Amino acid sequence: MITVTTVLQQVRGLDEQTLRRWIAQDWVRPARRGENPVFEEIDIARLHLILELRDQMEVGETAMPVVLSLLDQLHASRRHMRRLCEMLDAAGPEDKVHDILGRLGGR
């Protein structure tokens, strides 16, 4: 787990006040250890993404939640598509349609 201090050292251009605001706004969702947020590598990548969206693409505070939500939905769709492809690969040719429909119905 990565501490706030380490995050601030790793993510250039990010200060503690901004980090805490982004956590409060639910833009990044670290785990908690007591009262303190602790981060994983995926959180660090998301912080870099938010900084890039803000600084290079000029996405404002009002639009940021929408952009992040759309990106999250895109990643979820990719995971579902990967799962569907894996099911297609695993099913025999005669069973593919029925097997996949059954598996998708059981999500």
Same domain for 43 and 3? yes
DSSP 8-class letter at 2? B
Task: Say yes or no: 52 and 68 in one domain.
Answer: no
Are residues 16 and 41 both part of a single domain? Answer: yes
Tell me how far apart the alpha carbons of residues 61 and 67 are, in angstroms, rounded to a whole number: 10
Total structural domains within the chain: 2
Same domain, 67 and 55: no
Residues 41 and 86 in one domain: no
What is the C-alpha to C-alpha distance for residues 59 and 84, in angstroms, rounded to an integer?
33
Read off the pLDDT of residues 46-94 as tens digits, 9 standing for 90 and up: 999 999 999 999 999 999 999 999 999 999 999 999 998 887 777 776 6
User: What is the extent of the structural domain holding 85?
Assistant: 62-107
Judgement on whether residues 105 and 73 belong to the same structural domain of the protein: yes
Average pLDDT score, the chain = 90
Angle between helices 64-90 and 41-55 (to 10 degrees): 130
**Sequence-separated (6 or more) residues with CB below 8 Å from residue 30:** 23, 37, 38, 39, 40, 43
Give pTM, 2 decimals. 0.78
Do 103 and 55 lie in one domain? The reply is: no
Reference 50, options 74, 31, 78, 26; nearest CA is: 26
